[in-house]
Structure 1
Amino acid sequence: MHDTAPQPASSRDEHALIADWIRLEGVAGVGCRTAHLLLDVFGSPAAIFRAGRAALAAHVPAAQAAALCAPMSLDTARIVEATLAWLRDPAHAIVTLHDLDYPEALRHIADPPLLLYINGRRALLSAPMIAVVGSRNASSQGKANAEGFAEALSRAGLCVVSGMALGIDTAAHEGALRGEGSTIAVIGTGPDRVYPARNRALAHRIAEQGCIVSEYALGTPPVASNFPRRNRIISGMTAGVLVVEAAAQSGSLITAQMAAEQGREVFALPGSIHSALAKGCHQLIREGARLVETVDEVLEAMRVSPLVRQAAPPPACNDALLAALGHDPVGPDELLARIGGDAAALAGELLALELAGVVERLPGGALQRVVRAT
């Protein structure tokens, strides 16, 4: 027998919201950039689907407008159903571009993902982050370097982001799991897949102690083109990227290039001139990456990063926002309910207050006003 008990209104609303976001991603011929354009114009996926063909055609080609007005496809409906079932696990979540805990640095890259599928500690999305990446076919010394640097960075309070590939990525996750900062694995498959299969045990540990992040829908297989694309998330979430070992044609160089384009710090460990696995790092250093030999050199640069800590004059404070914050910890969703308005605009105001030291983000994602002694 099917359970016919009605769902609470809030649960139904949340499910409808998630369904609209997944539907927007699934519309044939509508890519990420077009979706961002439409969200800027109409405000939300639900408003896009309510707009009508004529209103949509003022901003996108007629074929895309027609596709957006068509009913949800059966394939997308199946994905929505599977996703809602997946979300029953309390360790699973979906963070949309409009959610307050969407990583703020990632929100401002050229093409941020609309959705992030989360398996693990969602609160890590608000932590200061650094990426550690490198060759899949790493040397023993390279893996030892990655593990040692990642552990030290994690113990210093930075969350270490990598791609859960074999070699340097695996070593970085292993090291970071031993520190307080923990680790985030950004994967190129659906959140219900583990690739490579050899890292299944590691993936389970990351889901328990850290966080696995994917922009891809459930069931998405390990398609080769997904992995270079996911690299923009690895760099975009972070304040800097440390390349430990990389051959001349390594995919890690793509991540480093994206980091540079996004205004992130790029670090590279030097190696022997006789090692093929040092060629990529040496190329990055010639192109302007910061040569580092110790963790302290990385931490020194990260401490002055505007994405980790910014010394700036306090912004003009929104009195209504400060009043809504009060003096006790409050969750982002509750704060939005108190003050109303646009979630993305509120996230921007909160980030400015955080950087100015007026608001503190606590473990678990709650926010608290900081009152300075006078």
Structure 2
Amino acid sequence: MIEARLIPDGGYSLSTRDKETGLGWLALARVKGLGCASFKRLAEHFGDPTKAFSASPGELAEVPGLDRDAAHGLASFSDWAEVRKELKRALATGARLVPFGASDYPARLRTIADPPPVLYVRGEMREEDSKAVAIVGSRSASNYGIRITQELGRGLASLGFTIISGMARGIDGAAHEAALAAGGRTLAVLGCGVDVVYPPEHERLYENICRNGAIVSELPIGTPPFSFNFPGRNRLISGLALGVVVVEATEKSGSLITAGLALEQGREVFAVPGEAGASRSRGTHRLIRQGAKLVEGVKDVVEEIAPQMLERAGSAREKAPLALPSDVGTEAKRVFGLIAERALQIDEVIEASGLAAARVSEILLDLEMRGLLKQLPGKRFITGR
């Protein structure tokens, strides 16, 4: 039996300008024979669901790629009472509906071949979430996998990227936690209803994501986390992101499905190399052989999808004032000055400063605790000002 837990009623409200239009999009998601790809053709042809439902058989025949089953399901649809019940259930659990026609429907998701007619959301999706990176991987992650995920998640979140994942055990959970720890935003895309916490031990994580991001699903309220839901969910993870980073994956991992979908959607694909011969590394190594960009740190991701951010970060460091508190000693000022010029690893600081390793470590720790320095993945330091 699948473990899951229903979330109690919340206090959110529907955020559509026109509830009837929202109902129309939700109804399209319930039409028999109408898949998401056919839905997109229909939406592009008619513009809004009201026109689609009122179209004549002849008008439906003019929609490119719309087969007879979908046209018949649309013409014969009458289950409006159930659609209204579904809307009521969503509101009762604290979810809001974001229909395809709404201004806050994610623009990047509109571009995929099979966008969902409606998104169920708990929390808040923002325009800034369009600058997002997905991090996915093994549910049974190694300590190495968790550590590199934490470094990537924290580093990318600190640069303003929203981290997207699926809230599963292992890499997914670590990615969300890292983004939250860095004070960033994160989106969890579920293979169940947004009112279902799965796995159940992620209840606290679920609530933290609601407060600092959003829980997202295309599936109706109360939908259990059946295994056949997850491949479809994966297209939303990749569709919402600029790129997908795979950290640890076996040869049959669902993360490889996400990577394949990312390629189809024109997204960047990245993979973190692992231990040679380890089963958890076979999937990521295969991706690298097939052309995925090898990732050892945050810079490898950012220079591919937003290189201008690295340039701005460097420029900001050059322009940053070097004023320090009066109680900072001469040696600490020397170390701070070196790092203000460019990001340095501890060995580089030792060499450039001429100070003993123990003394440099002591200074770095003190400056970091004061918020004057920040440590990036790869044990590189930059100024915190």
- TM over 0.5, yes or no? yes
CA distance in 2, matches of 1:305, 1:258: 26
CA distance in 1, matches of 2:102, 2:15: 16
Paired residue for 1:28? 32
Q: 1:72 aligns with which of 67, 75, 78?
A: 78
Q: 2:273 aligns with which of 270, 274, 288?
A: 270
State the Cα deviation string for residues 207-235 of structure 1 (Å, max 9, x = none).
11211111111122212121011111111
Q: Which amino acid aligns with 1:27?
A: V
Contact 1:23–1:72 (Cα < 8 Å) also in 2: no
SS in 2 for 1:160: strand
CA shift, 1:279, in A, is: 1.1
Paired residue for 1:323? none
Paired residue for 1:260? 263
Q: Which amino acid aligns with 2:205?
A: L
CA change 1:173–1:124 in 2 (3 A) is farther
Q: Which amino acid aligns with 1:68?
A: L
> Is 1:242 aligned with 2:253?
no
CA shift, 1:157, in A, is: 0.5
Q: Which amino acid aligns with 1:94?
A: L
Q: TM-score of the superposition, structure 2-length normalised?
A: 0.71
CA shift, 1:266, in A, is: 1.3
CA distance in 2, matches of 1:58, 1:263: 29
CA shift, 1:72, in A, is: 2.6
Paired residue for 2:224? 221
Q: Which runs of 4+ in 1 moved over 6 A?
A: 10-13
Paired residue for 1:39? 43
CA change 1:125–1:15 in 2 (3 A) is farther
CA shift, 1:295, in A, is: 1.5
Contact 2:29–2:116 (Cα < 8 Å) also in 1: no
Q: 2:298 aligns with which of 277, 281, 295?
A: 295
CA distance in 1, matches of 2:43, 2:295: 41
SS in 1 for 2:197: coil
CA distance in 2, matches of 1:107, 1:146: 28
Q: Which amino acid aligns with 2:252?
A: Q
Matched residues, number = 295
Correspondences of 1:1-374 after superposition (within 5 Å): 14-59=18-63, 60-73=66-79, 77-87=81-91, 92-123=95-126, 126-304=129-307
CA shift, 1:179, in A, is: 2.4
Contact 1:124–1:210 (Cα < 8 Å) also in 2: no
CA change 1:242–1:61 in 2 (3 A) is closer
For the aligned residue pairs, the C-alpha RMSD in angstroms reads: 2.5
Q: Which amino acid aligns with 1:110?
A: A
SS in 1 for 2:245: strand
Contact 2:167–2:188 (Cα < 8 Å) also in 1: yes
Contact 1:157–1:180 (Cα < 8 Å) also in 2: no
Q: Which amino acid aligns with 2:297?
A: T
Contact 1:177–1:210 (Cα < 8 Å) also in 2: no
Q: TM-score of the superposition, structure 1-length normalised?
A: 0.73
CA shift, 1:274, in A, is: 3.1
Paired residue for 1:359? none
**Whose Rg is larger?**
2
SS in 2 for 1:122: coil
Q: Which amino acid aligns with 1:87?
A: L
SS in 2 for 1:37: helix
Q: Which amino acid aligns with 1:69?
A: A
CA change 1:141–1:64 in 2 (3 A) is closer
CA distance in 2, matches of 1:23, 1:85: 14
CA distance in 1, matches of 2:255, 2:42: 32
Q: Which amino acid aligns with 1:214?
A: S
SS in 2 for 1:110: coil
Query: Which 5+ residue runs of structure 1 have no aligned equivalent?
Result: 1-9, 310-374
Contact 2:25–2:100 (Cα < 8 Å) also in 1: no
CA shift, 1:125, in A, is: 6.3
Contact 1:120–1:209 (Cα < 8 Å) also in 2: yes
CA distance in 2, matches of 1:291, 1:128: 21
CA shift, 1:92, in A, is: 3.2
CA change 1:11–1:92 in 2 (3 A) is closer
CA change 1:42–1:178 in 2 (3 A) is same
Contact 2:244–2:262 (Cα < 8 Å) also in 1: yes
CA distance in 2, matches of 1:158, 1:13: 29
SS in 2 for 1:213: strand
CA change 1:22–1:68 in 2 (3 A) is same
CA distance in 2, matches of 1:12, 1:254: 33
CA shift, 1:63, in A, is: 4.6
